[in-house]
Structure formats: structure tokens, C-alpha cells
Structure 1
């Protein structure tokens, strides 16, 4: 498995489609950072480290998932970079983008407010 981020996004997407209460993803530094952004943006309920895995609790509103789609943008074979001017709202502000900057991982709105660009990791809505 080469792309651990895509694996995590796929596992979360599959768990949401099956309306699972929790899903286990591999415990890596980048996965932890992405989950921290998702929790801060209220896209997931919570996550906790459990040894080699991270247990993620997807957020549901009236038994409907808050996240309907997770999309990997920048891939190991094709990196996608955006400047602060190129950061756009996702789904008219209903979604978020996650950007890896020189100061760490941020949501698109947060990176834009800090005047930072970087690698566009994924889009979530």
C-alpha cells in the first residue's frame, strides 16, 4: 500500500456508506493531522489512537452522515499545489479542502486567512 491517505479516506467513505459507528485507519502522522483538521471543522465526531490504528467516529446528523464525499486530490504520482489566491470554497462553503502548508495542515479557509498556499491533499463534503 503506497498511498496511506487515500486508504484512510476510502476506509472512512466505506464506513459512512455502511453507517458504521467506528472505523479503524492506520496510525500515521499525516493521518493524525488530517483527522485533527476534520474534527476541528466538525466533519467527524472524534478519533482516538489505539496502538497501530486510529479509531475514527464519523459524525451523523439525524442518522445521515455529515460527510458525503471524500476526494484525494494530490497523489504520490501527481502532486497538486495551490497558491493562497487559488484556494476556493468547496460546495459553496459546505465542504472543506485540506492543505499541507509549510506551517502544517490546515483547512482551505484557515490557510487562506493565514495567507498560505501549499499542497492540496483532499476535498471533503
Structure 2
């Protein structure tokens, strides 16, 4: 049986937010670290830390909530490309999420980046997920 590490990563964040947790621990990988950096740069998480615990390490993510209503900053996390069906986008077909209010995260030859950055760098790649 094959597990999807990116889907597990997104599900852990989704579940932690629904439960109202402030911090979530996720097993680390290089791809997950890069996705975490993109989420931080886009303002969806408060902060993160990479720890070298155990055989592969851990990513500690401090989740971000609205101060007044206590609603999470991330409304929806959607896994797009799956192990059974990969989804790729060329530069001209990189999706815009909610007319630019959301973020598409892509894995490109130049690294993991947002859809907007991929268009600016004139590269396409695998569409990992949508965040809004």
C-alpha cells in the first residue's frame, strides 16, 4: 500500500485547525519543508520550525487564526495531483485560484513555488495543491 505524504501533510494541518490546535507536528521531508516555506511566505501559517528528531525530522507549524472570530487563516486545502493521477500545468495553464485570492502550489524544475511565481519565472510543473 502506498501512502501520499503531501495528502497526509495537508490532512494533518486541516485536522489541527478543525480541532483548534495552535501547533501541529508533521514528519519532515524536503518537499514538505518547501511547501511549508511557501505557506509561511503567503501568510497562511504563523511560523514554523524544522527539528532533527528521530530518523527523518519533524516540522512544527504554528497555525494562524483570526484574533476576533478565531477562524483559521486557511479556509480550504485541496490536494490536486495524486499518486494515481498526476496533474501538470504549462506556464499558460497555471491555475488562478479565486481570481488571485487563493494560491496554487506547484513543484517546478526551479523548486516549489506559487502559481503566480511560476508564471513570473516562465515555468510550469506539477500542481500539488490549492490553498485559500
TM-score (norm 1): 0.95
Structure 2, unpaired ranges of 5+: none
What are the ranges of 5 or more consecutive residues in structure 1 without an aligned counterpart?
none
Pairs aligned (count): 125
What SS does structure 1 have at the residue aligned with 2:92? helix
Cross-structure match for 1:59: 64
Q: In the alignment, what sits opposite 1:124?
A: 131
1:107-118 matches, within 5 Å, as: 107-118=114-125
Query: Counterpart of 2:103?
Result: 96
| Whole-angstrom distance in 2 between the partners of 1:95 and 1:58 | 17
2:83 to 69, 76, 82: 76
Cross-structure match for 2:17 = 16
Over 2 Å off, 4+ runs: none
- Tell me the CA shift for residue 92 of structure 1: 2.2
Task: With the length of structure 2 as denominator, give the TM-score of the two structures.
Answer: 0.90
Query: 1:118 and 1:87 mapped to 2: Cα distance?
Result: 9
Find the structure with the greater CA-based Rg: 2
CA displacement at 1:35 relative to structure 2 = 0.3
